[in-house]
A and B are shown apart, each in its own frame.
Chain A
Amino acid sequence: MNVEIINRVLPGIGVCQEVELQSGHRLGIVTRRNGLREIVVYDDDGDGAAMTLALTDDEANALAEVLGAPKLILRLAELQQQADGLVTEQLHLPAGSPYASRPLGDTQARTRTGASIVAILRQGSAFASPTPDFVLRAGDLVVTVGTREGVDQVGHILAGAVGTGAPPGTG
């Protein structure tokens, strides 16, 4: 499908390129020698501008990228949307938590909430991807990723506000 572009040289100024769209509207792009671009929407008469929008070089390039890569843009938007539903939070493990000094696995956080504990921050150092036998301590920051509800639930579990997942150990 060929789109016809009419080029009009503007001596001393730059060039104007005009495209007729399938809708019957016509669009012009003026490129000045200094890099300024203008988008022109033509009036009913067809010869004159009904509206002209001036773009800086940066704006025009950003717009060109958006217009030039529709598949990529859609995929990015999906990813963005998926990422939008996720939250990451650092949950504080209070001193009175039932899980202080107990292995991470005891919380059964992922099974019960769907949220994942991806790291533990302790005294300025980070323990990434902790295993279920990692022993939590009061004062730890538990980095949790999941849906809003999932993360909130993990917070309640750590605070001991809901029933413990496993019978408390003897220690």
Chain B
Amino acid sequence: MYLASGAGGDQSVATLLIEIGAILLALGMLGQLARLLHIPVIPLYLVAGLFFGHGGIIEFSASEDFLNISADIGVILLLVMLGLEYSADELKASLRTQAPMGLLDGLGNALPGAAVALIAGWGALAAVALAGITWVSSSGVIAKMLGDSGRLGNREVPAILGVLVLEDLMMALYLPLLTALLAAGGASTVVITVAVAVGAVAIILVIATRYGRFVTALVSAHDKESLLLGVLGLTLLVAGLADELKVSAAVGAFLVGIALSGTVAETATELLAPLRDVFAAAFFVTFGLSTDPGTLLPMLPLALLLAALTSGTKIGTGYVAARRDGVKRRGRWRAGVALIPRGEFSVIIATLAVAGGVTDKLAPLTACYVLLTIALAGALQKLPDRIPVSPPVSPPRSEPPSPASV
């Protein structure tokens, strides 16, 4: 074996390969299980991570460094793909039409999180972090649930997706803010760090939306291999620079995704998807691995409270958003329930916060909370269809009489 570790490292290389192989194989099987049960795979990855690792059934040691780096890359790939999914025009259109909804969604769902953190006595930083954790719904989980249940054609779906787009866009401001707050030691440096972060985001956002075609031309290539390497390289580079400026690597990646357009974006989406699947899985597992399952149970009551509270506010958000689109009662409730699941962003925020020195109770709390919200949405999603049909706008026509039998 010609790996960099040399002769002395052979044993650890073998252990590393065995551990990573076992983890990936197990995740592959979990994916099949999720498909069979018609549930999103993210909660299964989290649970798998919890079962293993610190305090779990088996401890993985050799692969820990590798998994941690994979998790970082996973976040970056998740975000660049999210950026690639949206065009700058879609973002602008959503911002124009959905801005009031975004405000309602932000206030309604972030404030309960902040309040709970303050009441628990975890301090202002934890309040900012928990606000983000309860604010953002999971576009990954929600798109999956909508697609699997054949509800993409429903009238309330644009309202749901509108809220999600706006949340993702707001994350481009929130994450740098959080990163800056976590990095700033004293109160005096906070203002400067935040100003630098917001300024950097603004500059990248302008480049992304105005001069996206130049960025696209930079990585445009005729063969897929060069394109893949170019896009991946640019993404990691900008993510690294953003991290250096305390803007958060994730946001840098997200903005690169938005800047790319046209066929380059389409091809990049296709090429990066398998990489994203591997590294994002590593991200969710690593979060689970680094969380001691023993710490989950004490956090359960608080997570239940938080889930109940912010599921209620999300239902309210979805209800109002769908009503704005002229959707009737059933559809409004469906939109509300659909928005309940939290996922990737909540985990990203918790990871950032814990790494930044905020109370490490946030990790088990977030793990519990994410799992609860996804489970709750799954359990509730069929209920709105039992609501009696609202009076139709025009009376339903009777079926034409069947032709006389021949």
Contacts and interface: CB of A to CB of B under 8 A. Distances in A.
A12 B85 contact: yes
B318 interface: no
Interface in B70-116: 82, 85-86, 90, 93-94
B330 A48 contact: yes
B397 A11 contact: no
Contacts of B157: 8, 10, 16
Contacts of B94: 11
A41 to B, nearest CB: 9
A18, A43, A48, A54 pick with most chain B CB within 10 angstroms: A48
Most chain B beta carbons < 10 A, residue from A18, A29, A43, A52: A52
Nearest to B150: A52
A12 to B, nearest CB: 4
Nearest to B326: A47
B397 A24 contact: yes
A46 interface: yes
Contacts of B400: 23
16 contacts: A11-B90, A11-B94, A11-B162, A16-B152, A38-B152, A40-B150, A40-B152, A43-B385, A45-B328, A45-B389, A46-B155, A47-B154, A47-B155, A47-B327, A47-B331, A48-B385
Interface in B299-345: 327-328, 330-331, 334
Contact of B331 (A12, A38, A44, A48): A48
Max chain B C-beta neighbours (<10 A), residue from A10, A42, A47: A47
Contacts of A28: 153
Contact of A44 (B161, B165, B389, B393): B389
B401 interface: no
B166 to A, nearest CB: 10
Interface of A: 8-14, 16, 18, 23-24, 28-30, 32-33, 38, 40, 42-49, 51-52, 54
The residue among B150, B156, B334, B400 with the most chain A CB atoms within 10 A of its own CB is B150
Contacts of A46: 155, 328, 392-393
**Residue of B152, B330, B392 ringed by the most chain A CB atoms within 10 A:** B152
A13 B153 contact: no
Nearest to A17: B153
Interface in B250-278: 266
Given A13-B143, A45-B328, A45-B330, A40 B396 contact: no
Interface in B143-160: 143, 147, 150-158
A93 B134 CA distance: 87
B150 A54 contact: yes
Contacts of B93: 9
B201 to A, nearest CB: 21
Given A18-B153, A47-B328, A47-B330, A13 B161 contact: yes
A82 B376 CA distance: 60
Contact of A12 (B161, B327, B330, B396): B161
Interface of B: 82, 85-86, 90, 93-94, 139, 143, 147, 150-158, 161-162, 164-165, 266, 327-328, 330-331, 334, 385, 389-390, 392-394, 396-397, 400
A28 B151 CA distance: 11
Given A23-B400, A48-B154, 19 more contacts: A10-B157, A11-B90, A11-B162, A12-B85, A12-B143, A12-B165, A38-B152, A40-B154, A44-B389, A44-B392, A44-B396, A45-B328, A45-B330, A45-B389, A46-B155, A47-B154, A47-B331, A48-B385, A52-B153
B392 A47 contact: no
A2 B336 CA distance: 35
A21 to B, nearest CB: 11
A33 B81 CA distance: 14
Given A28-B153, A49-B150, A11 B330 contact: no
A12 B156 CA distance: 15
A114 B143 CA distance: 65
A160 B182 CA distance: 103
Nearest to A51: B150
A55 to B, nearest CB: 12
Given A8-B158, A24-B397, A45-B390, A40 B327 contact: no
Contact of B334 (A29, A44, A48): A48
Contacts of A12: 82, 85-86, 90, 139, 143, 161, 164-165
A24 B396 contact: yes
Contacts of A10: 152, 157-158, 161
A33 B152 CA distance: 13
